[in-house]
Amino acid sequence: MAEKRFVNTSIWRDEYVRGLNHEEFRLYIYLHTNESITYYGVLELNPLKMTIECNLDTETVQEILKKFEKDDRIFVKELQVFVCDFIKTIWPNGPNPVTLEKLKSDAYRLYPEIHEAVLEEFAAIEKKTRKIKLK
């Protein structure tokens, strides 16, 4: 588990993030910087822990998680949460191609029914990675 997480400063220009209220933003940042999140953006769904660590009530955490899922920012399966834009948050220039393929493989294996938002996220990362190589 990581002791440090870095957040891409472009988060402040993200229209979605800028539209979040304080409670939503707190949970959004928590999801991206939680010590238990895997390198490809999966963490255990534990609303009680989220409630305590974010200083939010349980009902608020549940409502925000539903909002994030409806907005294709997270994907919940059983007791796990896949944070769709986690990869671009920690790798602003995109991971190297080998790492990206590993991330995709693991994500598909864990989430065979992965939805369009996640597929688009990987496609955007691949496109950005290719542009960086050309420079």
pLDDT digits 0-9 by tens, 92-121 = 677 777 777 777 777 677 666 655 556 676
Confidence at residue 64, expressed as pLDDT on a 0 to 100 scale? 97
Rounded CA-CA distance 94/79 in Å is: 28
58, part of any domain: yes
Decide if 132 contacts 95 (C-beta within 8 A): no
- 3-class SS string, the chain: CCCCCCCCHHHHHCHHHHCCCHHHHHHHHHHHHCCCCCCCCEEECCHHHHHHHHCCCHHHHHHHHHHHHHCCCEEEECCEEEECCHHHHHCCCCCCHHHHHHHHHHHHHHCCCCCHHHHHHHHHHHHHHHHHHHC
pLDDT in tens, 51-68: 999 999 999 999 999 999
- Is 1 among the domain residues? no
Q: How many CB atoms lie within 10 A of CB 97?
A: 12
**Into how many domains does the chain fold?**
1
Q: Are strands 42-44 and 74-77 parallel, antiparallel or unpaired?
A: unpaired
Question: Residue 39's domain spans which residues?
Answer: 9-134
Residue 2 lies in a domain: no
Q: 132 pLDDT exceeds 50? A: no
Residue 4: inside a domain, yes or no? no
**Which CATH number belongs to the domain containing residue 92 in this structure?**
1.10.10.10
